[in-house]
């Protein structure tokens, strides 16, 4: 409570399972925390109904999350963004929500995870907050995030080969129930390590023609499975070892002064297809695709919201790479009209084509090493 009369009820948009460390981080504000309802088609419909038509699909999902949270009584909304025009969307979302008649405060966190920069805003909500306490919450949330990312990385790589159906989901769901209860960094790290050991002990059977596929692209549609129609799970169902590199842990590790060094590394990996940074994660999409191609991966999925400029910029380099090396890249763009059935059909065809290619069989004329969806 900031002024003795207004009880804050904080909420935020979904993005994968990161709600767990976000709740830990938000608890420093000493407010009631309302996690938005689980993402559904209604979430998207609300966002589409009240958004400008031209904005990207992450904006619309976030707006839908905000509306559903406000309907449940939230009056303090948190918006984090940056790297592309999404960093400016907080002001637009706030204006739309106020035009709809909602009363609330918007806390916008834009930049490179700069806790000192955010601390003044946090103090406005919780005047009793000390920097030492804020730092402790941040470190615990980061430990939870790293545990979450490490566990889900193992699941992406192994769940497609499970012997007993659902065994990986059982361990994952238990981990997600227990992670919010970790009260120290050591507890979060131990839970992560124990869960990884349990996952790695589950019996799997990898086929001789196992496929390895990387997933690159825009961060939101990569990390929010509802928005991409659970493509990683769909790949796993088809016996694919899935690799993804964009995670919150990765983004934090390359924030601030580490960003310039990481960008130099990515541009080195992207040669000769890029010479300059193309914005957001577009450079990383090219760099990691080139790296995976050189490492003998079977193919890459490139995911982006329709109209995402950094990833549109990256596509020219990716298409050239695909042509020059006959390396399979499946391009998928998402908007409000994207069909889940259509995505599943394209994934099925892509995996079939990869297996034919792996076995050295001719690919039908109707197929291509490169598929583009705009």
Residue ranges of E strands in the chain: 9-11, 32-33, 76-81, 105-110, 211-217, 240-244, 299-305, 329-334, 370-371
Average pLDDT, the chain: 93
Position 366 confidence tier, pLDDT thresholds 50, 70, 90: very low
The alpha carbon torsion through 270, 276, 277, 278 (nearest 10 deg) reads -100
C-alpha 371/C-alpha 215 separation (Å) is 15
Element of type H or E holding 267: helix 258-270
Whether the pTM exceeds 0.85: the reply is yes
Question: Which pLDDT score, from 0 to 100, does residue 310 have?
Answer: 94
- Which parts of 103-214 fold into alpha helices (H)? 115-125, 131-158, 167-178, 185-201
pLDDT in tens, 150-207: 999 999 999 999 999 999 999 999 999 999 999 999 999 999 999 999 999 999 999 9
Collect contacts of 208-212 with beta carbons under 8 A, ≥24 apart.
209/355, 209/358, 209/359, 210/161, 210/239, 210/240, 210/241, 211/238, 211/239, 211/240, 211/241, 211/298, 211/299, 211/351, 211/354, 211/355, 211/358, 212/240, 212/241, 212/243, 212/296, 212/297, 212/298
Q: Is a pLDDT exceeding 90 seen at residue 131?
A: yes
Those residues whose C-beta lies under 8 Å from the C-beta of residue 206, and which sit 6 or more positions away, are 161, 241
pLDDT in tens, 16-65: 999 999 999 999 999 999 999 999 999 999 999 999 998 999 999 999 99
């Amino acid at each position: 409570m900031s002024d003795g009369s207004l009880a804050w009820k904080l909420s935020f948009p979904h993005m994968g399972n990161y709600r767990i460390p976000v709740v830990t981080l938000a608890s420093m504000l000493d407010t009631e925390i309302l996690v938005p309802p689980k993402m559904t088609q209604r979430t998207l419909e609300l966002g589409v109904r009240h958004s400008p038509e031209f904005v990207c699909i992450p904006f619309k999902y976030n707006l839908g999350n905000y509306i559903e949270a406000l309907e449940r009584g939230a009056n303090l909304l948190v918006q984090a963004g940056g790297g592309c025009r999404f960093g400016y969307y907080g002001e637009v979302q706030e204006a739309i929500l106020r035009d709809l008649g909602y009363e609330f405060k918007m806390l916008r966190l834009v930049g490179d995870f700069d806790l000192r920069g955010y601390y003044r805003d946090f103090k406005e909500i919780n005047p009793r907050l000390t920097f030492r306490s804020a730092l402790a919450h941040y470190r615990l949330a980061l430990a939870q995030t790293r545990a979450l990312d490490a566990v889900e990385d193992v699941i992406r790589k192994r769940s497609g080969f499970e012997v007993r159906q659902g065994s990986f989901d059982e361990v994952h769901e238990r981990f997600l129930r227990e992670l919010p209860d970790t009260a120290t960094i050591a507890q979060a790290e131990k839970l992560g390590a124990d869960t990884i050991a349990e996952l790695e002990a589950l019996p799997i059977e990898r086929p001789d023609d196992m496929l390895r596929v990387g997933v690159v692209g825009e961060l939101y549609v990569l990390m929010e499975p509802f928005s991409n129609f659970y493509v990683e799970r769909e790949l796993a169902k088809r016996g694919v070892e899935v690799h993804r590199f964009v995670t919150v842990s990765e983004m934090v590790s390359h924030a601030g002064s580490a960003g310039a060094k990481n960008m130099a590394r990515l541009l080195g990996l992207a040669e000769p297809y890029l010479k300059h940074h193309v914005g957001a994660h577009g450079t990383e999409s090219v760099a990691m695709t080139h790296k995976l191609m050189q490492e003998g991966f079977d193919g890459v999925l490139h995911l982006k919201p329709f109209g995402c400029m950094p990833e549109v910029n990256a596509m020219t380099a990716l298409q050239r790479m695909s042509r020059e090396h006959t390396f399979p890249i499946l391009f998928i763009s998402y908007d409000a009209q994207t069909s889940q059935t259509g995505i599943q059909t394209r994934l099925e065809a892509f995996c079939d084509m990869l297996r034919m290619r792996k076995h050295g069989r001719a690919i039908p004329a109707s197929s291509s090493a490169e598929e583009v969806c705009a």
